Amino acid sequence: QVQLVESGGGLVQPGGSLRLSCTVSGFTLDTYTVGWFRQAAGKEREGVACSNGVGIPYYEDGARGRFTISRDTAKNMVYLQMDNLTPEDTAVYYCASHQISWRAQQYCSVGFKRQGGYWGQGTQVTVSS
């Protein structure tokens, strides 16, 4: 049974940093593409950063240069290091994967909308002074 469990969200001031963690069970990270997504209040869910089965990352425009996706294959965990946070980053952040081995860019842009995905419960990130 596939499970993804996020942790590490919270309240942070603008300019601060947070590190989100995702514990994966039911498959190994070298099998599927994984990614981080977010959904702000009143907005559609969007891609943030994705990593394919060999660890090649892709970042959406809002994350590039500030966020870093990484994996620990020994622990089967995925991380999202978020630096220089702004209030616009406030959202529920989700860790997800999919049955199809998408390229990272494809998964982040369209793949996550397809049926067959696995999602965590989400973790709230609030950036506010």
Bridge partners (DSSP) of residue 5 are 23
83 neighbors 96 (Cβ within 8 angstroms):
no
In whole angstroms, give the CA distance from residue 126 to residue 129: 10
At 99, the pLDDT band (50, 70, 90 cuts) reads confident
Contact 89, 12 (CB under 8 A): no
Query: What tens digit of pLDDT does each residue of 2-43 get?
Result: 999 999 999 999 999 999 999 999 988 888 899 999 999 999
Q: Judge residue 110's burial from the number of C-beta atoms within 10 Å of its C-beta, 0-12 exposed, 13-18 middle, 19 or more buried.
A: exposed
Say which amino acid occupies 44: E
pLDDT in tens, 37-76: 999 999 999 999 999 988 899 999 999 999 999 999 999 9
